[in-house]
Structure 1
Amino acid sequence: MINRILFATDLGIYNPYLMSQLSVLAHSTGARVDLVHAIEPMGVFAESILSIYMTPDDQKHLRNSGMPQVMEHIRQQVLDSLKVEIDEMPNKFTISDVIVEIGPPSDIIIKHARQCRSDLIVIGSHSGQGDGEAMIGSVAGKVLRKASVPVYFLPTACLREGL
């Protein structure tokens, strides 16, 4: 029985398609939906830019105080934009929680699937980035390999190719 679904999204170009598929699944099962949006950690380049333009104290303040505020702002924007999308769907459903976290996306998804006690993870095959040659994106592949619950894998290659 599917009581709780974790929907992993990068909010990319395929999100409306993924949301429409999720709405049918959530509506038919009556499951609660938690959404997770992972943000890649800053790379070496971004860190070096910060070190050039910010004092060490400002950098520390940003990490300790500023980033939680930024993350909450992103979380609220995600929730607000998804509510608009959901309201336009024929199969409405409720998002129980929106989780926005910085870290490697596959690790964040797996961690929250466990924490939320998800019965199912819903994820798209690709983010819409890259060259499209791979059958499966790197994040989706890692989630499939690491998940301890079933993964509802939505192919997006057909959308890329206009099929």
Structure 2
Amino acid sequence: MFKRILLPTDGSQGASEALNCATAIARKFDSELEVVFVTEPHLMLTAPYSESILMDALQATREEGENVLAQATETARQSGIDQVKSAMLEGHPAEEIVRYAREHQMDIIIMGTHGRRGINRMLLGSIAEEVVRTASMPVMTVRVSGG
């Protein structure tokens, strides 16, 4: 049923719980799991700071993404998932997640709902909500326990 599962992650508690759910489903259906992390360089490049500070911040974000992807991939493998891939994407998160899912023919997207918190969520909106509205395949959202 779900042979190809896409898991967007940002390293948050919600993403961690979505990973647990995705690995359980992947084991049940012997699915391939693809984990993605999306950076938003356009947000940094419009900030009023020197180019060197912005480039350092962008590099730090990419390194964080690589670490988050490595950790999620390792967790999935330790959970018994043999077919795990990862990718770093750049752009608007919801758009990139939906584009990747479409281009890679994902059967389902499984994602957490509380990556952004507080005022950021109010100002920027929910990535999960936008993915649910725009994806052509099923989207399962996983809520943070107690949240």
**TM > 0.5 between the two?**
yes
**1:93/1:139 CA distance change after superposition, 3 Å:** same
The percent identity for this pair of structures is 22
Separation in 2 of the partners of 1:102 and 1:50? 21
Does 1:48 find its partner at 2:48? yes
Q: Gapped runs of 5+ residues in structure 1?
A: none
Does the CA-based 8 Å contact 2:35-2:69 persist in structure 1? Answer: no
SS state of the match for residue 49, structure 1?
coil
**1:74/1:80 CA distance change after superposition, 3 Å:** same
**1:78/1:45 CA distance change after superposition, 3 Å:** closer
Does the CA-based 8 Å contact 1:35-1:95 persist in structure 2? Answer: no
Number of aligned residues? 142
What TM-score do the two structures reach when normalised by structure 1? 0.70
What TM-score do the two structures reach when normalised by structure 2? 0.77
Does the CA-based 8 Å contact 2:94-2:130 persist in structure 1? Answer: yes
Corresponding residue to 1:107 among 83, 95, 99: 95
Does the CA-based 8 Å contact 1:110-1:146 persist in structure 2? Answer: yes
Mark the structure with the bigger radius of gyration: 1
Instruction: Quote the residue 2:3 is aligned against.
Output: 3
Where in structure 1 do 4 or more consecutive aligned residues deviate above 3 Å? 44-47, 73-76, 86-89
List aligned pairs for 1:1-163, cutoff 5 A.
1-43=1-43, 47-51=47-51, 53=52, 71=62, 73=63, 76-86=66-76, 88-89=78-79, 92-94=80-82, 96-130=84-118, 138-156=126-144, 158-160=145-147
**1:26/1:138 CA distance change after superposition, 3 Å:** same
